[in-house]
Amino acid sequence: MNIINSARENNFFRQELMTGEHSQVVVMSIPPGGEIGEEIHHVDQVLVFVDGEGEATLNGQKSKVSAGDLTFVPAGTKHNFINTGNKDLKLYTIYSPPEHKPGTIHKTKSEADEAEH
């Protein structure tokens, strides 16, 4: 699998690609002005950005993200990612251990929010 192409071709807010016993690969697409939403996981998360521009906030500290950037979010870190550009922010993320059920597809953020509450 070419993960960069998979992330760029994904048009869903969240789509699980692979899940193993100890980790999981998910692609995401955040529309302009959209965001992942402030959250805290009880797992480690690595995000790799492949297209677009955004802003990362980790425990209140903000930084810019764009294609080629990697952000590591340790378990227990309050975080959010906002698309600040004019095209979709595309990324893939690795959760360790897995965070979502295998086969998860959330077409939009509102669908993801509804499924998680």
Count each helix (H run) and each strand (E run) in the chain, helices first.
Answer: 2, 9
- Rounded to a whole number of angstroms, the distance between the first and last alpha carbons of the chain is 32
| Residue ranges making up the domain that contains 83 | 3-116
Average pLDDT, the chain: 95
Mean pLDDT of 74-94: 98
Strands (E), 8-113: 14-19, 24-30, 44-51, 53-58, 61-66, 70-73, 79-83, 89-96, 105-106
The token duo for 41 is: 């996981």
Which CATH number characterizes residue 64's domain?
A: 2.60.120.10
pLDDT tens by residue, 9-58: 999 999 999 999 999 999 999 999 999 999 999 999 999 999 999 999 99
Residue 68 phi/psi, 5° resolution? 95, -10
The token duo for 92 is: 């893939």
Label residue 8 by pLDDT band (50, 70, 90).
very high
How many folded domains does the chain comprise? Answer: 1
Residue 78 phi/psi, 5° resolution? -70, 130
